[in-house]
Amino acid sequence: MKDTTFGPKGWTPDRLGSLKGKTYLITGTTAGAGCQATRILLSKGAKVVMLNRNADKSIAAVKTLKDAFGPNAEVSFVRMDLSDLASVRAAAEEVKRTVPRIDALICNAAIAQVPTQQLTVDGFESQLGTNHYGHFLLCGMLFDRIQESAGRIVVVSSLGYNMGIKTIQFDDMNWDKNYSANAVYSQSKLAQMMFAYKLQDRLKATDSRVEVYVCHPGASATSLISTSGGLFTRVTWWMMSKTPLVQSAEKGAYPEVMCATEDGLAQRALYGPTGWLQTGGPVGKGTLNPHAYDKPVMEKLWTVSEKATGCHWEI
């Protein structure tokens, strides 16, 4: 049944009031949905700290945003490479030194459809290492600061979680034997969701006021595939992006901004476009398939993730 909580047009930034005094951290903001989310939040007076791998692009982005929203716009960046756990640790420490409050950490950055098996500097398959392990460590290191502000963690996943093997291949996490770009991407996005839902379960047993939400952008015209996918995938996506099947990057940002700001949302849910195949249309609560919160798999993944990242959550 289609979600009508926010009316026939779904959630839009028109619902936002002033966000003055609020601080949002977003990973992956030099293009795509992360860039558009930054613009929406800045337009409402929020402070945004961007966590990006490319310093030159980030400096250029800050200039562009200050040109658009004025020299007093509170936007800055911290260099962070999610595929390098040492870089994530260094960035988290810098954030703790320089950012006194976090109202929401939006885990937006990702790589997708890497055509051949690649390993991170820490020895993990690149999509799992970047999309899941990097964010798992970042959230763990910043959790206390988020908790101090009674803030939120927003995990930006993908409908790709519903493809592939629909579970975690624990006996071969790097996919040494059967690497497939789509199946591995699917696993990485499923892992992100399982992290979020397991964290929700852990927080229920405490007095924490941190809220955790999961969303996806639908089919949006972002640079995600063009930056990491193979040639055939990039060409196919370019052609699709010229059709009505693909919405704008700005609309793709609506679900993550909603999850970072809107009150009264359900936590065990998946938010995003609710139109045809959930690829576009009004933003609201969509379909969440139960394999995304399979309890034994979530619990095992949490243990594996703590060991892989060396991050042991004290909750």
pLDDT band at 3 (very low <50, low <70, confident <90, very high): confident
Instruction: Give the pLDDT confidence score for residue 244 in this predicted structure.
Output: 45
Half-sphere exposure of 120 (CA within 13 A, CB side): 25
pLDDT at 37 over 50: yes
Report d(CA 213, CA 229) in Å as an integer: 27
Instruction: Give the pLDDT confidence score for residue 73 in this predicted structure.
Output: 98
pLDDT at 242 over 70: no
The single residue of 185, 213, 254, 293 carrying the catalytic annotation is: 185
Mean pLDDT across 243-260: 86
* More confidently predicted of 95 and 241: 95
The 10 Å CB-count burial string (b at 16+, else e) for 80-107 is bbbbbbebbbebbeebeeebeebbbbbb
Instruction: Give the pLDDT confidence score for residue 307 in this predicted structure.
Output: 98
DSSP letter, residue 114: -
DSSP for 253-311 reads HHHHHHHHH-SS--SSS-EEE-SGGGSSSSEEE----GGGG-HHHHHHHHHHHHHHHT-
Report d(CA 109, CA 135) in Å as an integer: 9
Instruction: Give the pLDDT confidence score for residue 236 in this predicted structure.
Output: 44
Q: Give this prediction's pTM.
A: 0.92
Our answer to whether residue 213 is catalytic in this structure is no
Mean pLDDT across 101-114: 98
Mean pLDDT across 64-84: 98
Cβ–Cβ < 8 Å for 112, 217: no
Instruction: Give the pLDDT confidence score for residue 57 in this predicted structure.
Output: 97
Instruction: Give the pLDDT confidence score for residue 315 in this predicted structure.
Output: 81
* More confidently predicted of 204 and 222: 204
Predicted confidence (pLDDT) per residue in 46-70, tens digit = 999 999 999 999 999 999 999 999 9
DSSP letter, residue 160: G
Half-sphere exposure of 68 (CA within 13 A, CB side): 18
Instruction: Give the pLDDT confidence score for residue 16 in this predicted structure.
Output: 98
pLDDT at 250 over 90: yes
Report d(CA 42, CA 34) in Å as an integer: 12
Three-state DSSP at 75 gives strand
pLDDT at 235 over 80: no
Predicted confidence (pLDDT) per residue in 171-207, tens digit = 999 999 999 999 999 999 999 999 999 999 999 989 9
Handedness of CA 98, 101, 107, 109 (dihedral sign): negative
CA 107, 228, 124 angle in degrees (round to 5)?
65
pLDDT band at 108 (very low <50, low <70, confident <90, very high): very high
pLDDT at 226 over 80: no
pLDDT band at 234 (very low <50, low <70, confident <90, very high): very low
